[in-house]
Homo-oligomer: A and B are copies of this chain.
Amino acid sequence: MQKQTLTNLDLDQLEQRYRARLVNSLSGAKSANLIGTSDSGRNTNLAIVSSCFHIGANPALLGMIIRPSSVPRHSFENILHTEHWTVNHVNSFIVDKAHQTSARYPRELSEFDAVGLTPEFLDNFPAPFVKESKIRLGLKLAEHLSLQINGTKLLIGEIQHIDFPMEAICSDGHIDLNAAGSLAVSGLDEYHELKSLARYSYAKPNQTLRKVNKR
């Protein structure tokens, strides 16, 4: 295996888009999610985001990095205004529509309409869910930070609503992402199915790891 090595000085010399594609690939697999928001008049907005990540289980918290100057800026404004958003897992049936939400549509056009996905308002939750998504979360803004180092925003939401297919939940609470068809994304534009290798037992010193039954 021949390797290529780059330093931060080499990175500085790279053409901007080449560098963006490269550096966006480096963290590894990312979650592929659609962020649903609405203004107070129920004008909806939908944006694909690969920057959602787990922060804590109790309270149940999800983080998301947003660069306000980039495409999801209407989503960002809606979140600050309504303090709610939805996170909808992308699956293979909607992946092309999901990616198309990253186009720079004018504010008055909903990406739901532009790409052909269906907004669904549940109970009194102020943000729209994606009907075609199988694992869906409703979040309420809990903390909002600006990262000094590059001015991006970290939005932290508390999970208030969860829905998922009955067949995706394992007896111990683990969710089988394969059963829900949830995809991963790498870099800026590559989408992947997940092919499960194993679930492993809780690791302890001096104890051999076992593969555990998935369900």
Contact = CB atoms under 8 A, between A and B. Distances in A.
A61 B199 CA distance: 30
Q: Which of A21, A25, A154, A183 has the most CB of B within 10 A?
A: A25
B163 A6 contact: yes
Interface string A137-173: 1000011010111101010101111111111011011
B195 A193 contact: yes
A28 B19 contact: no
Interface string A193-206: 11111111111110
A25 to B, nearest CB: 4
Interface in A41-77: 50-63, 65, 67
A22 interface: yes
Contact of A137 (B26, B56, B135, B161): B26
B143 A99 contact: no
Contacts of A156: 147, 149
A174 B17 CA distance: 10
25 contacts: A1-B134, A1-B167, A2-B166, A2-B167, A4-B169, A5-B162, A8-B161, A18-B172, A19-B58, A21-B170, A21-B173, A22-B57, A25-B173, A27-B31, A28-B33, A29-B32, A30-B31, A55-B65, A63-B65, A176-B190, A178-B192, A184-B184, A192-B195, A193-B195, A194-B195
Interface of A: 1-8, 11, 14, 16-33, 50-63, 65, 67, 87, 89, 92, 95-96, 99-106, 114, 134-135, 137, 142-143, 145, 147-150, 152, 154, 156, 158-167, 169-170, 172-178, 182-205, 207, 209, 212, 214
